[in-house]
Amino acid sequence: QRMGNTELIDGMLRDGLTCAKDNIAMGLSADAMANEYDIKRKDQDDFAVQSYQRAQLAYSRNAFDQELVHIEIPSKKGPPIIVSQDEGCWKLNEQKMRHLNPAFNVDGSITAGNSSQLSDGAAAIIVCSEETIRELNVKPLARILSYADAEQSQDKWSTSPSIAI
């Protein structure tokens, strides 16, 4: 289009933070679930801090070394940048996190600090048959013995996994 108005859509907001069915911020649903189950802001912040600390400890013990693939990012100003770990877990400022404003509702408890980071979610897994394992001569890390799924109204997405257990 050469002339006229156009619409710019924030892909991260639309694809990552908005419910595709109801077109609302998923954080609004998370706030509602925290309220319904009486999960206090302090408990959420405590859990987030513990999660950061566990990730930091695991990295310091090289616990993820066999599970991570290093990524090379070309650089115009020198050698490529190597990303070899999640940088987010090292950015914890606990005092600042505990004083962040709610991100979705004025009286909510979900904040940018006690929510998943925007970089969250990069993972891959290979599932294959026993025959393929033998053919490739690889050692499996896990075996699927059973599975389940569950569904409920979209606004209760944060508790859906518990129904499947």
Residue 151 pLDDT > 90: no
HSE-CB for 136 with a 13 A CA cutoff: 11
Shortest CA distance to 120 belongs to which of 45, 57, 48, 25? Answer: 48
- pTM of the predicted protein model: 0.78
Query: What's the pLDDT at 120?
Result: 66
Give the least confident one: 2-11, 12-21, 59-68, 87-96: 12-21
Query: What's the pLDDT at 121?
Result: 60
**Residue 121: other Cβ atoms inside 10 A:** 8
Query: What's the pLDDT at 19?
Result: 84
Supply 71's token pair. 């990524």
The DSSP bridge partners found for residue 82 are 72
Per-residue pLDDT tens for 78-132? 999 998 888 888 999 999 999 999 999 999 999 999 998 877 666 778 899 999 9
Rounded CA gap, 92 and 113, in Å? 8
Residue 51 pLDDT > 90: yes
Cα 73 to Cα 39, 66, 90, 93, distances in angstroms: 40, 21, 20, 27
